[in-house]
Amino acid sequence: MHGGVPPMVLRDLMQDWQPEHHQEIFDLIELKSEKDEQYRHILSANLRHVTLNLANEVAQLTPPDSQIRDIEPLNELFRSTLNRCDKNIVQAA
């Protein structure tokens, strides 16, 4: 999956947060699962604070370099592996 976002587990993402935030988030997820998209919920002051801190941290991140790299060495490795495997298959037959 080139360029995609790998699967994530919410509990793993929240491991650095205070445990009291965990339950509030899980309760909110459960509540929202029973509501439609029009439902609005007012977050606690504590959760608003955590959310704003997280948003500020993310805003300061620098995206990774997106320049295309020379992948020919990887292509050559792939070709040589295919050739070696192909020869092994032919010899085994």
* pLDDT tens by residue, the chain, 93 residues: 455 677 778 888 888 777 778 888 889 889 999 999 899 888 889 888 888 988 899 889 888 777 777 888 888 988 888 888 766 555 554
**By residue range, what is the domain housing residue 17?**
7-60
Q: What total of structural domains would you count in the chain?
A: 1
Question: Given this model, what pLDDT does residue 16 score?
Answer: 79
Q: 79 lies in a domain?
A: no
Measured in whole angstroms, the distance separating CA 60 from the mean position of its chain's CA atoms is: 18
Distances (CA, A) of 26 to 9, 10, 12: 13, 10, 13
Q: 82 lies in a domain?
A: no
What is the Cα–Cα distance from 30 to 34, expressed in whole angstroms?
7
Question: Given this model, what pLDDT does residue 54 score?
Answer: 85
Q: 32 lies in a domain?
A: yes
Q: 83 lies in a domain?
A: no
